[in-house]
Structure 1
Amino acid sequence: MFTLYKSYCPVVSPFDPCKPILEKIYSTPPNLYIGFQPPNLPQFTPLEALKAGTLWKPFYDPYFNPFEKTKGGLPR
């Protein structure tokens, strides 16, 4: 299944002084999955592009921390 979020399980030592994090999650950018830039991609307006950090809509990645709470109190 395709997802922009990946995870891995780091090595946990019995001698770690802190409670271990058993699963770490990270985000991968969408441009990793597009081999080349096709012509005529949809574009943001110049003001939207400044806010989004990219001109092309398929390359936009609104990063959300998987542990953030939404307004309803549930994780995303």
Structure 2
Amino acid sequence: MNTHQKTYHPYASPFDPCKPLTEKTYSTPPHLYMGFQPPNLPQFTPAEALRAGTLWKDFYDPYFNSFERAKGGPQT
């Protein structure tokens, strides 16, 4: 199963004066999991597409950072 949120564990030096972050996360865009663009994908209206940054609904991802996701996402 493909997920859009990935995690990794960076190296933490024993000599680092700061408390290390043991796990970091990053987001991958939805188009990475589509081998090709199928025909007749649902589209946003032109005004919605400008706000979303893409014309096709299947390629939209809001890209919340980890702090926003912890709070439940932005209030819209």
Instruction: Give the match for residue 18 of structure 2.
Output: 18
Distance in 2 of aligned mates of 1:3 and 1:67: 18
| Structure 2: gaps spanning 5 or more residues | none
Distance in 2 of aligned mates of 1:18 and 1:58: 41
Aligned-pair RMSD on alpha carbons? 1.3
Identical-pair percentage: 75
Determine if contact 2:43/2:57 at 8 Å carries over to the other structure.
yes
| Structure 1: gaps spanning 5 or more residues | 72-76
Please give the TM-score of this superposition, normalised by the length of structure 2: 0.86
How many residues matched? 71
Please give the TM-score of this superposition, normalised by the length of structure 1: 0.86
* SS of equivalent to 2:47: helix
Runs of 4+ residues deviating >3 angstroms: none
Structure with greater helix percent = 2
Instruction: Give the match for residue 27 of structure 1.
Output: 27
Distance in 1 of aligned mates of 2:43 and 2:49: 8
The alpha carbon displacement at 1:65 in A equals 1.6
Distance in 1 of aligned mates of 2:27 and 2:53: 16
The alpha carbon displacement at 1:67 in A equals 2.7
